[in-house]
Structures are given as structure tokens and as C-alpha cells.
Structure 1
Amino acid sequence: MPDDDGCDWTVRPDRRGADDEPRVIVIGAGVAGMSTGCYARMSGMRTRIFEKHVLPGGCCTAWARDGYIFDYCIEWLIGTAPGNEAHRIWRELGALDGKSLTHFDMFNRVTDEDGRSVTFYNDPERLERHLLEISPADAELIRSFCRDLRRFIAIELYPFLTAPALRTVRERAETVRTVLPAFRLFWRTAATPMHAFADRFQDPLLRRAFRNIFFQDPEGFPLLPYLFNMAAAHHRNAGFPQGGSLGLARSIEERYTALGGSIAYRSRVARILVENDRAIGVELGNGRRYYADHVISACDGHTTVYSLLGGRYTGPRIDRLYDELRSSPGALFPAVVSAFAGVDGDLGSGHAHSTTYLLSAEDAARLPGALQRSLVVQLRSHYSDGFAPPGKSVIHCTYFSDFAYWKQLRATDRRAYWARKREVAAFVRSFLARLWPGIDERIELIDVASPATTKRYTGNLDGSILAWKAFSDADDVAARLVGRDRMRLPGLSGFSMAGQWVGLGGLIRAASTGRFVTQYLCAEWDMPFTAWESTVREPWRRERLGRLPQLDRASRREGSGG
């Protein structure tokens, strides 16, 4: 029976006409899944996306409560400035259609227990003056960092358009021309751990602050990503789009459906159908089967390999990722606890949009499952309009947390689980009152999402939002999955993987995997890969977010979300 896209997906591939457009099923309507759908549609394939949730976006999402919108994902978005490959991808996906963009002069501020602060300005001149005022004794190291930042500002390298194995000689030569003059800079900053660099500062605040430029210390990162992202922010290429995370997802969803693609929500894929070592379709949780010429999984990697495919198609790289590196310290990006505060009134001026507060041992002990002694406070109302009712504000507080701690609590003692979440809410309320005396009386609600919440809503392994950590051993293995293995699993045809579990974390990386996997498929089927930018320019409106869910109905009773 034909679906709403005019295609009967219940017909097996061997029973269709030879002149029918090739059909592709995509599992997951996150950014990677919808990107895959968009590029496949532009290249002449029929597509259908199956998504278990009621919203698109995966981790790139938001939820609502009492008129507040709690924007969960984007802190900065690479590709907000015209003239680079990252921006082109977002334009092809319609992600920025009709939207204003917010840019900040600083990346983050770090404040210690005594109230001393470091502001990481994106302008190297301003940053250098500021750091020298804090610690003249560290002049040599400060000037070295700012000198490298200037060098990165002079380089723009965003290799997101062509899949690694398909890059032409000309494309490779252009990359070499960009990289070669700065090879020593790339090599040195990639080989220098931020911890080792920061420990060279004499000033104790700078030693701690540099580790937290990315809000919290990702541990194991070298200098390179810090300089790269601050340089992007200097170019206004790391801004915040109007509508936020769910707004980005909704815009890509609109682009995809306008191209003729369809999404089935509340449709959990239970397994991938395989015959003679070839994927031929999917079976949903309700038993219904849908068939296609190719299946692409853009959902959690572990679920894909070991649940949907039953662990039958692995190899040395897959085994290393999910057996050896999964439990290796520093391979998987940490899970996060989020606490959103809805505040009656304005927060006033003079506050940074994002501040990492370094906590005393006593304060840190009050945060359940905390992995570091810090709390990030972001004034989300300063990022974009529409996140709070008129005259009100939203604050987002986060910290890295232990997934196993929350998983065990939720599984074995639900009362204790809710009690720990109430402790998070109580700490956030009291901590914000120190920053804004009297604000505790204006806080109307606090919604808390734990790592177990992330796992429950997205299926992500160990509640990790960003999957494998860049610049780790997992980075090298994942790069081979994309380049050498062409995003395929050994011994299985008719199947590919996309998303952060093969392309690593970050929204632009997730979006680019949708482009890459489609290019590989076009090459296999001898079809031309085609892509063009969206021409929609209608101004963005908050109403386009649609109806937003709450995390959990119990949130009103318990005072915190799912």
C-alpha cells in the first residue's frame, strides 16, 4: 500500500520494477539522518526515515515547560559565516534559512572560588592584553598562545564536502596547499596536550582556566581544537542560530520533506533485515517490515552493530571501538547533567553569556555524580529570542557526570534517583543566588536532565552526547571507518552507517557524514551526486518549533525532568 510519499515500502526489492528509483531507508532523524535523507533525495533516491522519538534532531533538541524552551545542544555552531565548506553544507540542508545569528566577542569566561576571572576573548590582541594584566609573569607563554591564535585565524580549513576516499587529485592538492605552509603549526599544536601547556603557567588561575576554554575540561585535548574554534569564532563562523538546537533540526526537517522525503515518527526500528549477508530493510517494534535497496543507520553505533544487527558483522576496527576503547579512559566523551532555570525578570547586563565556575571541594561534593569541580552557567536568553516568555529568562547549568552512577540509580532505586535530581536543582538554585542575590525568589522552575535521560531519549551509548572523543585513539579508528571502510561493516552489503559514531561529535561533522555516505552510495550505483543550496528566505518564527514535549509528566510533581 503506498505511503504518504507515494511509495509502497512494504514491497521487497526483488519484486519491484527495474525502472523504479532506488530506495534508501534511514534509521534515525537526527542531524546526520536527515542530512543523509536530504542528499539522497537531491541525488535522485527515494528515502524514508524511521525515528523512535516524536521530534527530529536526536541530541540536537529542546523541550518545554510553562512557556519556557530548554535548548539542549548547541553552544556554538561551526559554519555560520559565508565562504567556507561548513557554511555551504548548512545552506544545502536549509539549516540557517531565514535565521538571524548571534555572535559573541568571547568564547568563555572562567571564574575561580575567590572571584578571579579569565575571559577568553576571540580577538587575539584583546586576549593578550587581558591575560598579561592577570599575570605579567606568564608573558612568554601568553604571547605564544596568542601568536598561534593569529596564525589559525589566517587559515580556513573545513574539509566537509567530499568523502575522504572520493577526493580528487585537485581537492587533495588544494588541501595540501592550505596545510603545508602551516604544517609545523598543526603538528606542534596537535602534539601538545592542553594539560601540559596549561601546567606551565605560573598563575594558578591560568593553569586551571585554560583547561576550561571549552566550558569544561574535555581532558586529553591538545591545543589545536582550542585555537581552531576560537579562530572560527573570531571569523564569526562559530555563532548561534535563531531557534537554537531544535530550530536547526526543524529547518533541516522542512528541507528534507520539501525535497519529497518522508519521516515516520514513533517508529522504533527493532532490527535490520538481512538475507544472504545483504541488508534488505527494517522491522519495527510493532512487527511491520519495510524494504529498500540500501539501509543507512544514523543512530547509536553500539545499538546498530550489536542490537539491530545482532553483532554478526564486526571486524577489528568495530571490535576495538566497542570492546577495547569503550572502557578506555578518554575515548568516549563524558555524559552531562543539565539543569535549566526559568527566571521571572531580566538577568541584567554585565554578565558573560557563558561562564565556567571553578568549585570548592565542598560545593563539588554537592553535585551528584560530578566528574570535575566546575559548573557551567549559560544565559540562554542571551543566545536567541523566544526561549522564555516575555519578561523572563532562561539559565542553563551543566556539568560532566558519571553515566554509570545515574544508570544504576534509575534502575535500582527510582526514589533515590529523583532525590539526587532534586539535589541538583537545590544546588543550582542556591548557587545562582550567590551570583544574583535574590534570584532564588524569582526562579519559577528548575528542570533537570541526567545522563540516564539522554540515554532514554536518544539511545546514545553511555549517555554521551558527542560520542567518541576527538584526538583520542578512537578518533583514528573512526577515521578509517569513514575513509578506508567507506562507512560500511565487514561482510554486509546494502548497508552503511552515518552520524557521530563514525564521524565523531560536532554537528557539522554529523551533517557531513550524510553527504559522505550519499556520495559513496552514488559511486556504487553509478549515479551523479547532486546538491544545491536551499532558496527559502522566509524569516524564522518560533511557531515553527512545533509542539514541544516535557521530559516527563512527573517533572511537575518532583521538580525536575526525566
Structure 2
Amino acid sequence: MADEEASDWTLRERTPGTAPRVIVVGAGVAGLSTGCYAQMSGARTRIFEKHVLPGGCCTAWSREGYLFDYCIEWLIGTAPGNDAHQVWAELGALDGKSVTNFELFNKVEDEHGRSVTFYNDPDRLEAHLLELSPADAPHIRAFTRDLRRFLEIELYPFLTAPALRTVRERAQTLRTVLPAFRLLWRTAATPMHVFADRFEDPLLRKAFRNIFFQDPEGFPLLPYLFNMAAAHHNNAGFPQGGSLGLARSVEERYRGLGGTLTYRARTERILVENDRAVGVELRNGKRYFAEHVVSACDGHTTVYGLLGGRYTGPRIDKLYTDLLHRPGTLFPAVVSAFVGLRGDLEPGEAHSTTHLLGPDDADHLPGALQNSLVVQARSRYSGGFAPPGHSVLHCTYFSDYTHWKELRTRDRKEYRRRKREVADFVRDFLERRTPGTADRIDVMEVATPATTHRYTGNLGGSILAWKAFSEADDVAARLVGRDRMRLPGLAGFSMAGQWIGMGGLIRAASTGRFAVQYLCRELGLEFRAWESRGAEPWHPGKLGHLPQLDRRPARGSEDS
């Protein structure tokens, strides 16, 4: 029977008496989550992934003994006792892992060496800010007062799809929201840049915009307060093993549930008969069939590539033909420069610092959208990111995808030269900040927005898809709640992932849960989920084989 079940993926009709088949396109966190929940609910699943690793943007790569962790900066749901943590527990994402928590969210330092530290503890933060600028006491106290109130709010709507929430679940949400309604409404309606401009101190005006490392532009106060409050409760920590470690753990959970995952399997198109998705065709020409298909890859590729643009509607058209071309609709792409160092990092240094750049520095940072550079001490986030006695820094900045994509397409040699400019800038900046750093550098690796697009297919190289709190956020929410993650006129098909559920790993994971809850109604299955029992301690061997990003690292001008 096992051989018969395995072979019926190539048959249009499933073998009588067997469970419904579900094909998932993409093994990012959303795709893996979809596969796990479908397996738990009694379906048979296959995931096809074009890359050789799981995770999508939640990934890492290696060079010369260093592990370059690309994605997680903080993970909502690392503390037990809330719905976000329950999702990760069901997916086995944190099995056997320790979690690193930091006392501060970020530090912001200007070009003159003056700095602001955004402690997660509101009392400590208030005292620090008042010492920096007593004249701004009213605004400082207003922010920390709101942060204290957010410490009392627990709102993680990640367990049940919006259209399927019971009266009891809706009532529970109301009990949480109503007492804090005015606070939530006010902080959601107040843009951070408007609030920050109230400060007299010029550093505070800039620093508040950069609590999230760089200014996402357009965000209101609410997400800053929510995430700092979560961090204060140790619910926004960094899991052992990092980004790829999280993806590998969910992959392990998926395979343990009986799912099948195939790498180097690029989906060319979704097969449709009589306005119903019936399977997929891979680039190698092979066809696989199922009773339901879930696309958990790039949204534009799904709608206009895999489906040829045949199934759209007002909301899809609004996103991809109107909002897509408006400035600020997509979350910015980033340039990443990883630095492998001999020796340890300064023990008292913040784990994450946004450096505000002066005009001269800003003019020499290729493709930069803002005058700042984020430097994170990544080897302090988790063990195993550097060889013994060595360290890793991760330097990032928002950058223009078009700049890098056109450069790589038009002139590959010039593209590599510009990457070396990034490496040279980072090397010089770190040396000026801490003399002697340049002589300790073992390796430098630069990844551009074009790199992100090449490995993940994400439109515009965006790491978080549509920008939260934009008009696109409202439209995407209706795709999940009203359209039930389906496209108009197409049966047997769902979408999952950040292009439909917005960015952030917990949101990506929850879209997999929601998609399965919806498709269970269609397939006549009972949605089921339970926590993983994996207890084996995490170890670096679970990462598996790590490919290199490029054949040659961007060490700097000595290699040019």
C-alpha cells in the first residue's frame, strides 16, 4: 500500500481509500507550516522547493567556518504561555533550544558618539532618556507610560483563521481589546515620525525612528510598544540555531509527521482544469496531482507566473497593479555585510547598534536609502556562528533593489566592484569606530537585494513583503479574512505566506495554520494540531550541509 500511495502523486485521481493529497509550493516557514498542519489534520502532503535549503529568507550560509545568519533579529513567541508560542510548539520550532534575551531592543548612536539605549524595561528606559534630555520629560514619560500599559496586553491572534473564529474566541479578543481600546487606537493612529518630531533633542528625534534598527517609515507607535513589551517579557528572544536552525526544526517536524519534501524542484506552473487547481508541473516537465494546491512562495510569481494572471479580482488587482507601484508599499530590501573576526567582541557593547552617518559617510554607502548603518554582534545571539575564539558582525542597511538588480543584469563586473565598495566601507567604518578591527578581519561576505531575489524569488528583494500599516496591509487582511486565502474563480487552491498574511515569521507560520483550517472545510477533514514532543537538545549538526553564497567573498579592495 505504501508504494501505491507514493505513486499516486503522478495520477490525476487519488487511490481509493487514501487520504486527500495536498501539494505545497515553497518550503519557507509558511510552506513548512502548511505541510505540518495538513499532515496533523490527516492529509498527505508534498512540498516542492526550488532551493537546496528550507526557510526561504529564514536562512543562513557558511564560509571558512563562519555561519552567516540572515533573518531573525527577534522572534515573537519565545516565552511559554501565549498563542504565538503555541504555534512554534506545534511546529517544533523551538524543540531542545535555549533562547537568548537582551535587556535592550536597540542602541542608536550619532556620528559624534552620543547614543540612546532603548531598554525594554520602561523604568530603566525612562531614567536613561530623562538623563539625556530633561527638557523632553513630557514626551519621554508619555512613551514609557504607554509601554507600561502594553506590558499588560496579551494579543496574539495566530491560532484561528479570522473567518472561522468562534463566538467564544471573538469574545475573548474583545475582553482583551476593549479595556485598552483607546490606547490601541491612539498608538495605531500616531505615526512614529510625528511623535519623534515632538522632541527637542535632535538625537532623540532621530533615535526613536530607529528603534527597529532602521526607520521603516510610516509605522505608528503601536508596533514599537508591542514589540518592546514582548521583549520585556522574554517573548521576543533569539532561538538557538538562529534562522536556518528554526527552519530545520520545522522541517524535521514535518518529516516526522510523514510529509515529503523535495529540493531542487522548481514549480513551473499550477495545473488547472475547469477552474480548479489539480496539481503542479515542475521545470523538468514532471507533473504531480493533488486535491488541493497551496502556493507559499512569492505572491506576484504565484498570480502572474504559476497561474498566468488568469485568476485575479479587485483585491489582487489593487495590490499588484496599483499599490505595488506606489512608493513605500513594499518593505525595503537590505544590503547585508557579514564580517568574520579573530578574537572576541567588546563585552560591554550593545548586541545591536544603529549608527547615524554623517554626510560624508552616507555618500559612500552604495545604494543606501537612509543615512544609517546597523551593526549587530551576531555571535552573541547564539553559539556556533563563529569558530572558537572568533566572532561575527552583521552590518545592514536599507537599499534600493532596482539599483542592484540593474547593475547585476547589465554589468556583472561592476556589480562585484560595488559589492567590494560595501565591504571597503564597512571595514573602514569599523576600524574608525574600534581601531585594530581591520587587522582582525578573516572574511567579509556581502549580500544585496539582488541576492535575496535570486535565492528566494521575493519581489523587489523585499524580506518582509507588503509594508505593515500601509494600505496594502488592509487589502491583505481582507484576502485572509474575507477571501479565505483563495483567488476569485479558482477552486482547490490557497495562498499562504507573507504576501498574503504580511511579514514576520510568526505571521508566516500562522498563515499555514489558517490555510489548513480553511482547506479542511473543503476536504472534509477535521483540523487537528498538537505540540511536538521533540526533546533532543539542539546541536549545530542539525543544520546539515551549508552551501556558500558566492564563489568569491567580497573581502574588500585588496581583492579587486
Tell me how far apart the structure 2 counterparts of residues 376 and 468 of structure 1 sit (CA, whole Å). 22
Identity %: 75
3-state DSSP of counterpart to 2:50: coil
Shift of 1:434: 1.8
Q: In 2, distance between residues paired with 1:554 and 1:308?
A: 33
**Residue 307 of structure 1 aligns with which residue?**
305
Matched with 2:181 is 183
Deviates further, 546-555 or 233-242: 546-555
Aligned residues of 1:21 and 1:46 also touching (Cα < 8 A): yes
Kindly state the Cα deviation for residue 558 of structure 1 after the two structures are TM-superposed.
8.2
Higher mean C-alpha displacement, 1-10 vs 183-192: 1-10
Tell me if structure 2 keeps the 8 A contact 1:447–1:560: no
Is 1:459 matched up with 2:429?
Answer: no
Q: SS of the counterpart of 1:239?
A: strand
Kept after mapping to 1: 8 A contact 2:424/2:557: no
CA distance in 2, matches of 1:255, 1:184: 41
1:499-544 deviation digits (Å, cap 9, x = unpaired): 0000000000000000000000112223211000001111000011
Q: What displacement does 1:216 show?
A: 0.2
Aligned to 2:467: 469
Cα separation, 2, equivalents of 1:456 and 1:558: 23
1:501-520 → structure 2 map (5 Å cutoff): 501-520=499-518
Per the alignment, in what secondary structure is the counterpart of residue 338 of structure 1? strand
Say if 2:29 and 2:247, in contact at 8 Å, map to a contact too: yes
Written as runs of structure 1 = structure 2, the 5 A alignment for 1:302-341 is: 302-341=300-339
For residue 265 of structure 1, what is the amino acid of its counterpart?
A: Y
Superposed, which structure 2 residues align to 1:254-293 within 5 Å?
254-293=252-291
Partner of 1:356 in structure 2?
354
- In the aligned structure 2, how far is the partner of 1:302 from the partner of 1:173? 36
Counterpart residue type for residue 11 of structure 2: V
CA distance, structure 2, for counterparts of residue 66 and residue 267 of structure 1: 28
Corresponding residue for residue 401 of structure 1: 399
Q: Note if contact 1:89-1:511 (Cα within 8 Å) is conserved in structure 2.
A: yes
Conserved in 2, the CA contact under 8 Å of 1:149 and 1:231? yes
Judged with a 3 Å threshold, the aligned counterparts in structure 2 of structure 1 residues 306 and 29 are, in CA distance, closer, same or farther, namely same
Q: 1:232 aligns with which of 215, 230, 233?
A: 230
In 2: Cα distance, 1:368 partner to 1:406 partner: 9
Q: CA deviation at 1:70?
A: 0.1
Find out whether 1:90 has 2:91 as its counterpart. Answer: no
The answer for the alignment partner of 2:10 in structure 1 is 10
Name which of 45, 60, 63 aligns with 1:62. 60
1:113 corresponds, among 111, 114, 118, to: 111
Please give the alpha-carbon distance, in whole angstroms, between the structure 2 residues aligned to 1:343 and 1:274: 52
CA distance in 2, matches of 1:114, 1:204: 12
- 1:145-193 deviations in Å (ceiling 9; x for gaps): 0000000001111010000000000000000000000000000000000
Once residues 15 and 427 of structure 2 are traced to their aligned partners in structure 1, the CA distance between those partners, rounded to angstroms, is 63
Please list the CA deviations of residues 117-172 of structure 1 after superposition, one character each: whole Å capped at 9, or x if unmatched: 00000000000000000000000000000000000001111010000000000000
> Aligned partners of 1:113, 1:324: CA distance in 2, in Å?
39
CA contact (8 A) 1:161 1:515 kept: yes
**Deviation at 1:556?**
7.2
CA distance in structure 1 between the aligned counterparts of 2:69 and 2:337, rounded to whole angstroms = 11
Compared with structure 1, are the counterparts of its residues 139 and 5 closer, same or farther at alpha carbon in structure 2 (3 Å cutoff)?
farther
For residues 398 and 362 of structure 2, the distance between their equivalents in structure 1, rounded to whole angstroms, comes to 11
Q: CA deviation at 1:435?
A: 2.2
Correspondence 1:46-61 to 2 at 5 A: 46-61=44-59
TM-score by length of 2: 0.98
Q: String of CA shifts for 1:379-422, please: whole Å, max 9, x gaps.
A: 00100000000000000000000000001000001111001000
> Partner residue of 1:430?
428
Contact 1:330 1:469 in 2 (8 A): yes
Q: Deviation per CA, 1:71-119: give whole Å up to 9, x if none.
A: 0000000000000000000000000000000000000000001100000
Deviations 1:279-325 (A, max 9, x none): 10000001000000000000000000000000000011001101111
- Provide the aligned C-alpha RMSD in A: 1.5
Distance 2:458 2:373 in 1: 23
Contact 1:5 1:261 in 2 (8 A): no
Is the CA contact (8 Å cut-off) linking 2:77 and 2:235 kept in structure 1? Answer: yes
Return the letter of the residue paired with 2:225: L
| Contact 1:26/1:49, CA 8 A, preserved across alignment | yes
Amino acid at match of 1:139: A
Distance 1:318 1:292 in 2: 25
Q: Which runs of 5+ in 2 are unaligned?
A: none
Q: Within 2, Cα distance between the matches of 1:4 and 1:158? A: 42
Relative to 1, partners in 2 of residues 1:167 and 1:7: Cα closer, same or farther, differing over 3 Å? Answer: farther
Q: Distance in 1 between matches of 2:2 and 2:170?
A: 44
Q: 2:541 aligns with which of 518, 538, 543?
A: 543
Candidates 239, 242, 254, aligned match of 2:240: 242
SS class of match (1:399): strand
Q: Assess if the C-alpha contact under 8 Å between 1:39 and 1:531 holds in 2.
A: yes
Q: Is residue 2:75 matched to residue 1:77? A: yes
Select between 254-263 and 426-435 the one with higher mean Cα deviation: 426-435
Amino acid at match of 2:8: D
Query: Equivalents in 2 of 1:554, 1:332: separation in Å?
Result: 30
| Structure 1 counterpart SS, 2:174 | helix
Counterpart CA distance in 1 for 2:162 and 2:527 is 15
Inter-CA distance 464–4: structure 2 relative to 1 (3 Å threshold): farther
Residue 155 (structure 1) aligns with: 153
1:557 deviates by 8.8
Change beyond 3 A, Cα 1:125–1:557: closer
Counterpart residue number, 1:102: 100
| Aligned equivalents of 1:325, 1:160: Cα separation in 2 | 26
Q: CA deviation at 1:8?
A: 3.0
- Per the normalisation by structure 1, the TM-score is 0.98
Query: What is the one-letter code of the residue matched to 1:22?
Result: P
- Contact 2:5–2:18 (Cα < 8 Å) also in 1: no
Q: What SS does structure 2 have at the residue aligned with 1:8?
A: helix
Q: Deviations over 1:34-71 (max 9, x none)?
A: 00000000000000000000000000000000000000
Question: What is the identity, as a one-letter code, of the residue corresponding to 1:405?
Answer: H
- Alignment partners' CA distance in 2, 1:276 and 1:468: 31
> Once the 2 structures are TM-superposed, how far is the Cα of residue 559 of structure 1 from its aligned partner?
8.4
Q: Could you say which residue in structure 1 is the equivalent of 2:492?
A: 494
Q: Is the partner of 2:422 in helix, strand or coil?
A: helix
Contact 1:446 1:559 in 2 (8 A): no
Is the Cα–Cα contact under 8 Å of residues 335 and 449 in structure 2 kept in the other structure?
Answer: yes
- Aligned partners of 1:5 and 1:527: how far apart in 2? 19
Quote the offset at 1:18 in angstroms: 3.6
CA apart distance, 1:350:
1.1
**Amino acid aligned to 2:337:** A
1:439 corresponds to 2:437? yes
| Mapping for residues 138-177 of structure 1, pairs under 5 Å | 138-177=136-175
Deviation at 1:2, TM superposition (A): 7.3
User: Superposed, which structure 2 residues align to 1:27-38 within 5 Å?
Assistant: 27-38=25-36
Give the Cα–Cα distance (whole angstroms) in 2 for the partners of residues 270 and 60 of structure 1. Answer: 23
Aligned residues between the structures: 559
User: Alpha-carbon deviations, 1:261-280, whole Å to 9, x = none?
Assistant: 01000000000001111110
Q: Would you say the 8 A contact 2:423–2:554 is kept in 1?
A: no
Q: Distance in 1 between matches of 2:80 and 2:553?
A: 41
- Report the residue type matching 2:188 in the other structure: A
